[in-house]
Structure 1
Amino acid sequence: MLSDNATVSDAATRAAATIEDSRLAAVARYDILDTPPDGPFDRVAALAAKLLRAPVATVSIVDADRIWFKATHGLHGVTEIERAPGLCASAIQQEEPYVVTDALTDPRTAGNPLVHGEMGVRFYAAAPITTSDGHRLGTVDILDTRPRQIGQDELDTLRELAGVVMDALELRRSAQLTLRKERRARGQMERITSALQRSLLPPSLPSVPGLEVACHYHAASPAEVTGDFYDVFALGGGRWAFFLGDVTGHGAQAAAVTSLTRYTLRAAALHSQDPAAVLAELNAALLLDPNVPQHCTVLFGLLRPEPTGGFEITLAGGGHPPALRTHSGSGVVEEIFPGGMLVGALPDAEFESCRLHLREGQTLLLYTDGLTEARPRGEFFGEEGLKAFLASHPTTSASEQISELTGLLAGFDPGPTDDVALLALSVKSPTS
Structure 2
Amino acid sequence: MMCPTGQASEPGDERVAHSTDAVFTSLLEDSAEELYEQAPCGYLSTLMDGTIAKINATLLDWLGSDGAQVVGQMRFTDLLTVGGKLYHETHFAPLLHMKGEVSGIALDIKAAGGRRMPVLVTSKVKESQNGEPLLIRTTVFDARDRRAYEAELLRSRQAAEEARREAEADRERLQEALAVLQQSLLPSALPAIPGLEAGSYYHTASPDLLGGDFYDLFPLDADRWAFFLGDVCGKGPQAAAVTSLARYTLRAAALHDSDPVSVLSTLNMVLHERYSSGDTRYCTAVFGVLERGDDQVGIHLASGGHPSVLLQRADGSAQFVPTPGGMLIGVLPQAQFTAARTELRPGDTLLLYTDGLTEARTGPEAQLYGEDALHDFVTAQPAAGPQALITALTGLLAGFGEGLDDDTALLALGIPPLSAPVSET
Shorter-chain TM range is 0.5 to 0.7
Equivalents in 2 of 1:306, 1:315: separation in Å? 17
Task: Work out whether residues 317 and 337 of structure 1, in 8 Å CA contact, stay in contact via their aligned partners in 2.
Answer: no
TM-superposed deviation, 1:196: 1.2
Would you say 1:384 and 2:372 are equivalent positions? yes
Structure 2 partner of 1:301: 288
Matched, 1:421 2:404: no
Choose which of 336, 353, 362 in structure 1 pairs with 2:339.
353
The counterpart of 1:407, out of the listed 395, 400, 424, is 395
Greater Rg over alpha carbons, structure: 2
Aligned to 2:237: 252
Unaligned stretches of 5+ residues in structure 2: 1-165
Asked if structure 1 preserves the Cα contact closer than 8 Å seen for 2:347 and 2:385, the reply is yes
Aligned to 2:351: 365
Match of 2:386 among 385, 393, 398: 398
d(CA) in 2 for partners of 1:186 and 1:215? 28
Q: Distance in 2 between matches of 1:348 and 1:231?
A: 25
C-alpha deviation, 1:351, in angstroms: 1.1
- Report the alpha carbon displacement of residue 328 of structure 1 after superposing the two structures with TM: 3.2
Distance 2:243 2:249 in 1: 10
Is the partner of 2:332 in helix, strand or coil? Answer: coil
Q: How far 1:335 moved relative to its partner?
A: 0.7
Tell me which residue corresponds to 1:271. 256
* Contact map agreement 1:228 1:420 (CA 8 A) in 2: yes
CA apart distance, 1:207: 0.2
Partner of 1:198: 183
Cα 1:186/1:428, change in 2 over 3 Å: closer
Hey, what does 1:221 align to over in structure 2? 206
Shift of 1:187: 3.5
For each residue in 1:147-177, what CA deviation from the matched residue of structure 2 results, as whole angstroms up to 9, or x when unmatched?
xxxxxxxxxxxxxxxxxxxxxxxxxxxxxxx
- Determine if contact 2:358/2:370 at 8 Å carries over to the other structure: yes
Question: 2: distance between equivalents of 1:235 and 1:312?
Answer: 14
2:203–2:407 CA contact under 8 A, matched in 1: yes
Deviation at 1:360, TM superposition (A): 0.7
The CA deviation string for residues 293-335 of structure 1, in whole angstroms up to 9 with x for no partner, is 110000000010012x1200101111100000012352x1111
Q: Percent identity?
A: 48
Give the TM-score taking structure 1 as reference length.
Answer: 0.56
Do the aligned partners of 2:348 and 2:417 also contact (CA within 8 Å) in 1?
A: no
CA contact (8 A) 1:182 1:189 kept: no
Cα distance 1:375–1:419, how it changes in 2: closer, same or farther (>3 A)? same
Counterpart position of 1:280: 265
**For residues 393 and 427 of structure 1, what CA distance do their matches in structure 2 show?**
16
Between 1:320-329 and 1:402-411, the stretch displaced more is 320-329
Q: TM-score of the superposition, structure 2-length normalised?
A: 0.57
Matches of 1:415 and 1:223, distance apart in 2: 18
For 1:400 and 1:186, how far apart are their aligned partners in 2?
A: 35
Contact 1:376 1:414 in 2 (8 A): no
Q: Which amino acid aligns with 1:295?
A: Y
Which one-letter code corresponds to 1:215 in the other structure?
S
8 Å CA contact retained: 2:385, 2:417: no
| Alpha-carbon distance in structure 1 between the residues aligned to 2:403 and 2:233 | 20
- Asked if 2 retains the 8 angstrom alpha-carbon contact of 1:225 and 1:255, the reply is yes
Secondary structure (helix, strand or coil) at the match of 2:202 reads: strand
RMSD: 1.7
**Distance (Å, rounded) in 2 between the aligned partners of 1:399 and 1:210:** 14
**1:372 and 1:386 in contact (8 A); partners too:** yes
SS at match of 1:189: helix
Provide the C-alpha distance between the structure 2 equivalents of 1:429 and 1:381, rounded to a whole number of angstroms: 29
User: What is the rounded CA distance, in whole Å, between the counterparts of 1:352 and 1:263 in structure 2?
Assistant: 22
